[in-house]
Amino acid sequence: MRKGQDEVSGQGPILSVVVPVYQEEDNIRPFLERLVPVLEGITPRYEIIFVMDPGGDRTAEIIQQAIRENPRIRLMVMTRRWGQPACTIAGIEACTGQACVVIDVDLQDPPELIREMYRKWREEGYQVVYAQRRSRKGETLPKRMVSWLGYRLIERISEVDIPRNTGDFRLMDRKVVDHLRELKETHGFLRGLVAYVGYRQTAVLYDRDARHGGRSKYSQLTGSLKIGLNGVVAFSTKPLALATALGFLTAGGSAVLSLVYVGQKLISGEPVGTGISPIILLVSFVGGVQLICLGIVGEYIGRIYEEVRQRPKYLVARKVNFPGRQ
């Protein structure tokens, strides 16, 4: 294996770039054609870490060919499909740069934006520089609506300040990376974890492009709902308070209706809403509220169960081109 210039000189990388991938054979080459010139223009001391969930395409083969051409590229292959959040955390924990950038491979997030992120980190002293979307191409109206509502809900109820219209695309200082490595949560909601760690943070605005090639491996609508729910449950206990309030509201409403029913019976001799329909509606309403409350409590219990098992957040099958850690 050839050694990179940084390893020959005994110097570690200044900038690490973590790229989670799954069945992205159409995007690897175009992504590197845009990313590598950006990094070369910033510093020759960089590393690109692809973290791959195994799939049935040529993604690993293309990345390994790129490694033969550029020894600063590395590859981690997971034992199974762990999902993008776990792959991202794995790459962050494996990186060695003074700063770490997380970016997707589909070119919706422009690699050229890394120059401005790096400048704000180096010259202005920010420890976190996150990319904030002004516009979103290639996204359906339901996806945009869910994102709009989700970000505002998380912003209102979250215990930490999670910026709107942001994803995982960001630059983080080594201090932030080291603190992230100390956290034990298994949910992998990176934008919330980075907000929890703190330090000086700022935004870089950009217009998000449509996907370059291939298809997204998760549903735009259900994927966004799952991520949003994860963020709400992981960083706020207010839904539990909402469940309690719904319980009191339902009980209070039922008591008022009972008084009205008894009063009407005493005054006129005829109860309000005779027949079975009002009973069905009332039982359905109360049952719906109970199920909502049980669902909210269940989400938190599920998170507790995940944490107390203390299973690994991910497992790596093999590493390619990691010096001393093959």
The full set of domain ranges for the chain reads 12-236+316-320, 238-309
Helices (H) and strands (E) in the chain — how many of each? 11, 8
pTM, whole model, 2 decimals? 0.67
pLDDT of residue 245: 67
For residues 181 and 164, give the distance between their C-alpha atoms in angstroms, rounded to a whole number.
24
Q: What is the pLDDT along the chain (326 residues), one digit of tens a residue?
A: 334 444 434 478 899 999 999 888 888 999 999 999 999 999 899 999 999 988 888 898 999 999 999 999 999 999 988 888 888 888 998 898 999 999 999 888 889 999 999 999 988 889 999 888 876 665 666 666 656 566 666 666 666 677 777 778 889 999 999 988 888 776 667 777 888 788 888 888 888 766 555 555 555 545 555 555 555 555 555 666 666 666 667 666 666 666 666 666 667 655 555 555 566 666 766 676 676 777 677 767 766 766 676 777 888 889 988 886 54
pLDDT at 73: 92
What pLDDT does residue 101 have? 93
Q: What is the pLDDT of residue 49?
A: 93
Contact between residue 52 and residue 78 where contact means Cβ atoms under 8 Å apart: yes
The residue to which tokens 């790129």 are assigned? 66
pLDDT of residue 99: 92
Three-state SS for 268?
Answer: helix
Please state, in angstroms and as integers, the Cα–Cα distance from residue 269 to each residue in 117, 244, 257, 262, 272, following that order. Answer: 75, 36, 16, 9, 10
Domain range 12-236+316-320, CATH class? alpha beta
